Structure 1
Amino acid sequence: MGNVITDGEIVVSGLTKHYKQVKAVDGLSFTIQPGRVTGFLGPNGAGKTTTLRMILNLVSPTAGTATIGGSRYADLAEPLHAVGAVLEASSAHKGRTGRNHLRVVCAAAGLPDSRADEALELVGLTPAAKRKFKGYSLGMRQRLGIAAAMLGDPRVLILDEPANGLDPEGIRWMRDLLQKLAGEGRTILVSSHLLSEMELLADDVVIIAAGRLVAQGTVAEVIGKAGTAGTVRVRTPHPDTLLGALDGIGSSHGDDGALLLTGVTAEQVGDAALRAGVAIHELVTERPDLERVFLDLTAGKEAIR
């Protein structure tokens, strides 16, 4: 008798996968909480897709475990109602319409046909419901894949590069949908290369490189713990006078001639300018973004051989 999950917490513990001489995933451990969107990030070859496939029992781990709501995916009584997953763009019979494709999935899962129309509405494909799959763009196929994953109204949604093929409007739609689903208490795990979008979308991030965990936490925590200090950007007609008032402060010049100061706050720069009688035309603290932190954390970490 399979298990039915009551919450969608995903727990990965010591997960390892070796392919001959290659360690695709090496002792990976992290937890994904319900009610939040978690971005799963890493360079190409970091082991992201292999990890997702092990969570879904599509690949057997060399060591370690992955559970959803305390159970292995393979042990779930009603997996379609527990977990929805899209690991690649949806595939379907080329001559079948989007609606009929979903109805076939419903029939196989014992779901009413009405769920197909509800899922199409959820992903904005109702106008294309009667179009044949062969005429779907890549972005439409991504939406159809999500519709199929949501047929069972799952507590957990696992997506690998879901924004692939989407235009800017589609990416914003995806963001709004996933945040809405997380707001309903679902667990949303999203692998993506779009770091600027992840900074907008995700509550939490898990960053891996060479099959190992390098950072986990809220987006703000990961950026804050990266050790990349903020830079104060200041524009003044008297830069030498200002630097003299800020004795010992590290400085450089931006491409547009602005001073870039480190080891000092914007307030300290403003106070020093006031004491020195220097006019300030621009004063702003530039914080590191997720992309910069990601590149710093993963630099030089090649796939394990």
Structure 2
Amino acid sequence: MRRKLPSTQALNCFEAAARHQSFTRAAQELNLTQGAVSRQVAALEAFLGVPLFKRTQHGMALTPAGADYARQVRQRLDALERDAVDLMGRRGQGDSLTLATVPTFATRWLIPRLPRLAAQHPDLLVHLETSTRPFLFTDTGIDAALWAGTPQQLQQWAGTQATHLMDEDVLPVCSPRLLPQGQPVEPAALAEWPLLQQSTRPEAWRQWFDAQGVDAPRAMAGPRYELFSMQAAAAMAGLGVALMPTLLVQAELASGALVVACPRPLKAQRAYYLVQPQVTERPALSAFRAWVMGECGR
């Protein structure tokens, strides 16, 4: 049965024109004439039987249907491009996975372990993208996500299933220059120190002080950093004390670049999960899941 599909040339022209809101700029990007782009878009509108653009006093604008279709076309073209680049990169050999992961977890924990995955599965190619929040798998080319969150947040991620990988302990760390006589301090003393904050976890310090039974009015005050890697760098620079997941600062603690400011770890509410869509699991993802679960036990 023949598929009812428009030409990729028409879709390319439409996507560029929709993004630029201009046939002229789309033509410049695609190295075509303005007339060629206009004809391709007109042919697409005729094929669909739906107007995608409307004329305005200032030029042209997408219709509501055109704006919605442009978003969908852009996702499909991006996916086709990723698939083509992936196949060319593998030269048709082996299999690949595209994983979304929180950035610091990727650089501090996952990537240093990937050589062991390559040794076990030399034909498996792993691509990494960063993501700190849930997303719709149907809108991306991502196969699974290595994600940190609470069970409640996980339940709200529709259309997914998850494998628990490991719990997270957090610990106050700082530059050794900040410790008097090089000795850790009591929790109450930390309440007076500059506290480095994680922007995605604004109540982390308050929860830690509450667990220690310490009244800390300034628990949510201090400079905020989007990534744990930024927070670790700020702590090493002596800007304050950071409440860090221990698995993300193992190298800094081992080298002495960071030291434990107060030896009171707290089991965080968040844990690490492998999240995947509720579809039939590809063999490549099954192999990765078995490997990463084994790494969590090391």
Larger radius of gyration: 2
The structure carrying a bigger helix percent of its residues is 2
User: Normalising by structure 1, what TM-score?
Assistant: 0.27
